[in-house]
Chain A
Amino acid sequence: MLEVQHLHAGYGRVPVLHDVSLDVRAGEVVLVLGANGAGKSTLLRTIAGFVKAERGSVRLNGVDITGQPPEENVRRGLRLVLDGHRVFPELSVADNLRLGAAVHRERIDFDTLAGPVLDFFPVLRDKLRSPARDLSGGQQQMLALGQAFVARPAVLLCDEPSLGLARALIAPILEFIRNWARAGVAVLIVEQQIDLALSLADRALVLERGAITLSGSADELKRDPRVQEIYLGVAGAPGAAG
């Protein structure tokens, strides 16, 4: 469903991504791991269209969407949930969801669209009329995911959904994403917390300074000691080889 080939990208003159290729199939959860500054967010932003790729291509169901702005990609079925649980603070939960659904050309009943989200996260139903700024960080993340859900994307990109959240909230959020994938959506997710995320994913790849240095099934990577080394930059540590 999502095919990325030889992607090179950066911000202004600062190069970040070097020759990144990956693919995500429908119903699959692919996890992008990597230390801070490795380029994980940049990868998602480039695929979504926020950052202009210098070289390479992004294909959605065979259609080349490289360089298309994010607004258009949402209409084609590719949706990025930004990091930092960003929702519209002055608007109500309901209005935030309505805006998420605004991409549909035909009118779809609000309850039909948002029902599953509100069922899964009942607190959102309780606070339906409250402005989003009254929600906690975790609840805002739920809302952000819900906002993406009602757009019914075919491909979901998710940037560190667990960042800054209390441990108790992370599990239901990740479960929501897993169920979402099982329903047929291709999910590419970035996460810092290795173990939690690996239990959710089918496959994973490790990004190191903008290039993929390790990839495999989630189980394989869970057992691979090199993953940890990459995170710690241990290759250059005193006493380590190299």
Chain B
Amino acid sequence: MSRWFGPEGLTERAQLALGSTAIVASVAIPALAGNQYWTHTFHLVNLYVVVAVLQNMLLADAGQVSFGQGAVFGASAYTVGLVSTLHGVSPPLAVVLGVLAGLALGALFALPALRVQGYYLGFVTLSVAMVFPELLVAFSEYTNGVNGIGLPVPVLNAPLVANVTPLSLLVIALACGALAAHVGLRRAQLGRRMRVAAASPEAALTLGFSPGRARSAAFVIAALGTSLAGVLYVPVVGFLSPSAFHVELSIFFFFSVIVGGRGRLLGPIVGVWILYLVPNVLLVDLVNYRLIGYGLVALAIMLLFPDGIVGSIEQSLRRRLQTRSAEVRVDWMMSVPPTAMARSGQSDPDAGRAEPMISVRRVRKSYGALAALNGVNLDVARCTIHGLVGPNGSGKTTLLNVLSGLVRADEGAIDIKGHDTTRRPADDTARLGTGRTFQTPRVFDDLSIWDNVLIGAGLRRADDGRGWLFQALASVEAAWREQRPDTLPHAQRRLLEVLRVVATDADVLLLDEPAAGLSAEERRDFALLLRHLRDALGKTVVLVEHDLDLVWRVADRITVLDAGTIVAEGAPQAIVGDANVRALFTGRPDA
């Protein structure tokens, strides 16, 4: 496939090129033509594009609703203006102070985001955006209030060559830079983590990183870019007044992202151009109608084209270009080379007497009056498959959650690989070497299939890094990079989730009802995979399952839970023949 088109439509590279071209053209053409008015307009438009690109990242990638980016923008602009004019600070220092001010405010938004979510954060940031201009007026003695601050910057506006000013170059650089930064972020581990944290904080924890930290990083990055744009606002407009940073500005940025298409790289450009240019420039007489324009366009888009303009175009392109279907298959996973650990386990006669991989002692967990786990003791030997079964409400999933660290036990102790993990947070336990899959596969449709696997890799200190992964999956890497998993059937999504966990190099795999929804043949393949994981890769697998068929087939040892207590434990033959166990599953005391 060409470098410009993929099964999803335009590739990221193509979109970046297209966006940058639009940015450069929008500034260069009026400048070269000597049209002051349009040059100035597009200077401002491109600054707004920078803020919108970062808002897009914050909203779509990190899942954070912020109506306060206008205040961040204004804070940095005003700081530059204030320190330069009223305190005579030198321009470079003023810039630094401006950026710091904006950063501080933007990063502060991360604090409430750690406590509450969704619309709460929206209201807090909206309040800040509302209060910001009011405070500027309230402290008139320091800010010159409604009279504003005039601060022309002639040196940046002096033409360099062919009417192009240094300011134009700076604006172009910043805008293209913001776009490139967004693309770069998405390709980086941090960008992947942000998106995972936004989609499923639980999955983030089990993959070894803290969703809170990923979120905070997003706020800081957004604040940095927005502040830089705010700094450039000063030479672009040459005048600062509180009314320029009205709450309406923050709402404009948010709506631009939505109208263009949340999450689409080019969305902010389209959104800003439509919402700013149409009322402010093309309908000059009707400038009072611009607010109505924002509202009506945003409303119409939400009702008719919820993906936004760019989003809708991308969707129809995607439908037309869908040529190949990527696949995730068991045999690829089985081609992963065996590890040293497995080899040693097989040849070592003392392996059976080695320390258990997982050790659970007297663990209790209650939810109110209900005891989910009532003094559970369990040992899981290394390189074994250990089945955990029991009727509904027996506590199996709670036990798995306690082992992963997603739930903290009220009493008792848990030891994994010799470390006490009882009080450890889940991401810590994950970094120790435990991996987890969930009843509904936590597969992230916003990331490509390849990125879904990659989010797991690099979790630990794995000696040969991603070497073995690249080798085993070399044949499918290209296809997986270009496609998203939303077209995969359920069984393949399950396999993808397991593959990701294997990619983390976790020694302990905690699987929650992995066979749910798999056909008979798929279950047979899955059993093969589990045995391969144990034998060739040396993994220790704890398997919570309803599907007793699979468990009998594959487990080395089985623990049976009922109402939070262990009622039986042993090899499958012993368990199947145990009268109590039979009674438990069939409700027949005389079974």
**A touches B in complex, CB < 8 A:** yes
Residues of A within 8 A of B (CB): 10-16, 35-37, 163-164, 192-196, 209, 227-228, 231-240
Interchain CA distance A231-B553 in the complex, whole Å: 15
Known: A194-B588, A239-B573. A10 touches B552 (CB 8 A): no
Does B127 touch A at the CB level, under 8 Å? no
- Distance from A38 Cβ to chain B, minimum over Cβ atoms (Å): 8
Does B393 touch A at the CB level, under 8 Å? yes
Say yes or no: A232 contacts B546, CB within 8 Å. no
Interface residues of B in 571-591 (CB under 8 A from A): 572-573, 576, 582, 585-588, 591
- List the B side residues contacting A15 at CB < 8 Å: 490, 517
Task: Known A-B contacts: A233-B547, A233-B550, A237-B576. Give 10 more (CB < 8 A).
Answer: A12-B440, A13-B493, A13-B517, A15-B490, A209-B547, A228-B586, A232-B582, A233-B549, A238-B576, A240-B576
- The listed residue with most B CB atoms (<10 A of its CB), out of A16, A35, A235, is A35
- List the B side residues contacting A196 at CB < 8 Å: 587
Interchain CA distance A228-B392 in the complex, whole Å: 18
Residue of B nearest to A236 (CB): B549
Cβ contact of B586, chosen from A13, A209, A231, A240, cutoff 8 A = A231
Interchain CA distance A179-B572 in the complex, whole Å: 43
- Distance from B153 Cβ to chain A, minimum over Cβ atoms (Å): 55
Cβ contact of B546, chosen from A36, A163, A235, A239, cutoff 8 A = A36
Say yes or no: A36 contacts B392, CB within 8 Å. yes
Cβ contact of A228, chosen from B393, B513, B572, B591, cutoff 8 A = B591
Say yes or no: B549 contacts A235, CB within 8 Å. yes
Cβ contact of B551, chosen from A227, A233, A239, cutoff 8 A = A233
- Distance from A199 Cβ to chain B, minimum over Cβ atoms (Å): 12
Say yes or no: A164 contacts B393, CB within 8 Å. yes
- List the A side residues contacting B553 at CB < 8 Å: 236
Say yes or no: B490 contacts A13, CB within 8 Å. yes
Nearest 3 A/B pairs, CB to CB: A233-B548, A37-B546, A233-B549
- List the A side residues contacting B326 at CB < 8 Å: none
- Distance from B249 Cβ to chain A, minimum over Cβ atoms (Å): 39
- Distance from A210 Cβ to chain B, minimum over Cβ atoms (Å): 9
- List the A side residues contacting B520 at CB < 8 Å: 209
Say yes or no: B549 contacts A36, CB within 8 Å. no
- Distance from A139 Cβ to chain B, minimum over Cβ atoms (Å): 16
- The listed residue with most A CB atoms (<10 A of its CB), out of B493, B520, B549, B550, is B549
Say yes or no: B547 contacts A37, CB within 8 Å. yes
- List the A side residues contacting B181 at CB < 8 Å: none
Interchain CA distance A89-B269 in the complex, whole Å: 51
- List the A side residues contacting B548 at CB < 8 Å: 35, 232-234, 236
- List the B side residues contacting A238 at CB < 8 Å: 552, 572-573, 576
